[in-house]
Amino acid sequence: MKIALIGYGEVGRILAEDLRSADHAVSVYDVKLTPETRAPLVAHARAFGVNLARSHAEAVRGAELTVSAVTASQTVAVALACAGALAPRSFFLDLNSASPGAKITAAGLVESGEGRYVEGAVMTSVPPYRLKVPLFLGGSHAASLLPTLGKLGFAAKIASETLGVASATKMCRSVMIKGLEAMVIESFTAARHYGVEPEVIASLRETLPGVDWEKQATYFFQRAIEHGRRRSEEMREVAVTVRDAGLEAWSADATAERHAWMGDQAEHGLFGERERDGFARSPDWRTEADRILDHVRKPRA
């Protein structure tokens, strides 16, 4: 099967690896394929036999399935860039963490051409599950795509024939999950400052005994450091979703700010360089909390 992937970040590379292992033809395009950033992406593509396209249109031309896996803010832009080049009746699977409204807009663009749009909502972190990550589908073409996704190895099920339902499920879940990440980072870093983290963690264990708070905190710090920018964009889409329900998005907005801040600090090297220090892979969350505290304690110029 010929498959196009738009977005060659963490998710795109995982999908490419798994699809190529089953001998599917995979073509990818990413706006980050610039002279400054392309070297590791080119190396990955060569290692797995992936075709690197020079544009959205080149990537999707002739593909039976196009998968959009980009940052939330690019959801509509990618649909617009691909729409005119999609093969007649080919599927466009939108995996982006965007609001129901953004998905509906993207669907209109894809279907103004000759593609069949299917909304996808990835319901947990991709790396542990890879291609088999739980995936909710939505839209009038979801049932038609489902058998193909099953043969490819996806663990997909239909949420609704109505566009926006799958994404609303994802967005409402993210209020909790991404919000918990932000709260743990804030709570545990502040507790580290006051020297009370053992007592805080002991209290949490008593209140919520099913959670390994040490392990979970390390994971939360790692994901926010490595994907803070992407998570902040998702949470801004979550905030739109909450406001569209008639509520003030206080929690979602604050979570977006925390993840954006973590992403900014990572980009400026606060947590070390990926190649040198095993970026975002400290085995103890305290290492990252101490880096944050050292940074915020520095006198401002």
- How far is Cα 269 from Cα 181, in angstroms, rounded to an integer? 21
Residue 72 has pLDDT above 50, yes or no: yes
**% residues pLDDT > 70 (the chain):** 95
- How far is Cα 6 from Cα 167, in angstroms, rounded to an integer? 19
pLDDT in tens, 224-245: 998 999 999 999 999 999 999 9
**256 Cβ neighbours under 8 A, 6+ residues apart:** 232, 235, 236, 238, 239
- Strands lying side by side in the sheet with 116-122: 51-52, 25-29, 2-6, 65-68, 91-94, 116-122, 134-138, 155-160
Three-state DSSP class for 120?
Answer: strand
pLDDT in tens, 124-167: 889 889 999 999 999 999 999 999 999 999 999 999 999 999 99
CA 285, chain centre distance (Å): 22
pLDDT band at 298; cut points 50, 70, 90: confident
Residue 35 has pLDDT above 80, yes or no: no
State the chain's mean pLDDT as an integer: 93
Number of Cβ within 10 Å of residue 194's Cβ equals 9
- How far is Cα 143 from Cα 132, in angstroms, rounded to an integer? 18
pLDDT band at 182; cut points 50, 70, 90: very high
Strand residues in the chain grouped as ranges (E) = 2-6, 25-29, 51-52, 65-68, 91-94, 116-122, 134-138, 155-160
Mean pLDDT, rounded, for 75-102:
96
User: Phi and psi (nearest 5°) for 245?
Assistant: -85, 0
Cα-based distances in Å from 162 to 107, 134, 183, 233: 12, 19, 33, 24
CA 75, chain centre distance (Å): 12
Do residues 183 and 257 lie in contact, with contact meaning Cβ atoms separated by under 8 Å? no
The domains located in the chain, with CATH, are 2-162 (3.40.50.720), 167-297 (1.10.1040.10)
pLDDT band at 277; cut points 50, 70, 90: very low
Mean pLDDT, rounded, for 4-32:
95
CA 110, chain centre distance (Å): 21
**276 Cβ neighbours under 8 A, 6+ residues apart:** none
Do residues 156 and 192 lie in contact, with contact meaning Cβ atoms separated by under 8 Å? no
Q: Give the pairing of strands 116-122 and 134-138.
A: antiparallel
pLDDT at residue 274, as a whole number: 55
pLDDT at residue 282, as a whole number: 78
Three-state DSSP class for 29?
Answer: strand
pLDDT at residue 280, as a whole number: 52
Which of 185, 177, 181 shows the shortest CA–CA distance to 285? 185
Q: DSSP letter at 23?
A: T
Residue 30 has pLDDT above 60, yes or no: yes
pLDDT at residue 206, as a whole number: 97
- How far is Cα 24 from Cα 38, in angstroms, rounded to an integer? 23
pLDDT at residue 283, as a whole number: 86
pLDDT at residue 272, as a whole number: 77
pLDDT at residue 278, as a whole number: 45
pLDDT at residue 299, as a whole number: 75
Residue 301 has pLDDT above 70, yes or no: no
pLDDT band at 275; cut points 50, 70, 90: very low
pLDDT band at 300; cut points 50, 70, 90: low
Residue 101 has pLDDT above 50, yes or no: yes
Residue 259 has pLDDT above 80, yes or no: yes
pLDDT at residue 276, as a whole number: 43
